[in-house]
């Protein structure tokens, strides 16, 4: 079984904000694969279903971003999952252009409080992650204001495509493995530039 965790903040006021890329991708997967909602447990909303022939738990922590690890660690422990091979985390990244995807097997928190919380609670930084770019914070802006803000109409179009691609990437990881997904998505932007 795989745990697919999308990070974000619960509540209507946070819908469609930059910080909710994970939640938006989970919603896409739930719709696409008709995953029934199991309700609330372990401080998160979850659904159990099948994606690419694998049993999955699709989870949105309800702890707010900075305590995401509290929810994810409870799910990992309850279902006796190995976070290094059975956990996929989707979240926003300000170091990537809006709509750019980056897939990693492991890494530091990179200043992301949700990931920081997960590393602390899980005791490892070796877990699969899909980062969805939201663009860099403009000079003079407060980081919290920026990530809790919404996209321009132009950026939103690009990001909506990226959310679908992030869901595709989850499917590819489950079907073909993390290396195949990294090769496919991480190289895409570079290849286009060299062809031009």
Asked if 4 and 26 count as a contact pair (C-beta separation under 8 A), the reply is: yes
Is 183 among the annotated ligand-binding positions?
no
User: Which residues lie across from 5 on neighbouring strands?
Assistant: 59, 89
Q: State the CB neighbour count (10 A cutoff) for residue 148.
A: 16
| Catalytic (active site) residue 19 | yes
User: Which residues lie across from 102 on neighbouring strands?
Assistant: 131
Is 9 among the annotated ligand-binding positions?
no
Secondary structure class of 135 (helix, strand, coil): coil
User: What DSSP assignment string belongs to 39-101?
Assistant: EEETTEEEEEEEETTEEEEEEEESS-GGGHHHHHHHHHHHTT--TTTSEEEEEEETTS-TT-E
Catalytic one of 19, 42, 112, 184: 19
Tell me the binding residues: 14, 64, 66, 113
Tell me the binding residues for tRNA: 14, 64, 66, 113
- Cite the active site residues: 19
């Amino acid at each position: 079984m795989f745990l697919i965790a999308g990070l974000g903040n619960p509540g209507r006021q946070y819908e469609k904000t930059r910080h909710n890329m994970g939640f938006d991708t989970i919603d896409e997967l739930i719709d696409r694969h008709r995953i029934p909602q199991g309700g609330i447990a372990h401080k998160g909303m979850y659904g159990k279903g099948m994606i690419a022939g694998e049993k999955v738990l699709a989870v949105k922590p309800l702890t707010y971003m900075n305590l995401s690890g509290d929810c994810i660690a409870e799910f990992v422990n309850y279902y006796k999952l190995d976070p290094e091979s059975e956990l996929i985390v989707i979240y926003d990244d300000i170091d990537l252009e809006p709509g750019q995807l980056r897939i990693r097997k492991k890494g530091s928190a990179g200043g992301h409080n949700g990931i920081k919380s997960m590393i602390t609670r899980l005791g490892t930084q070796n877990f699969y992650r899909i980062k969805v770019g939201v663009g860099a914070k403009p000079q003079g802006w407060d980081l919290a204001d920026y990530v809790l803000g919404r996209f321009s109409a132009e950026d939103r179009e690009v990001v909506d495509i990226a959310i679908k691609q992030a869901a595709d990437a989850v499917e590819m990881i489950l079907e073909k493995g993390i290396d195949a997904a990294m090769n496919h998505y991480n190289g895409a932007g570079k290849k286009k530039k060299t062809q031009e």
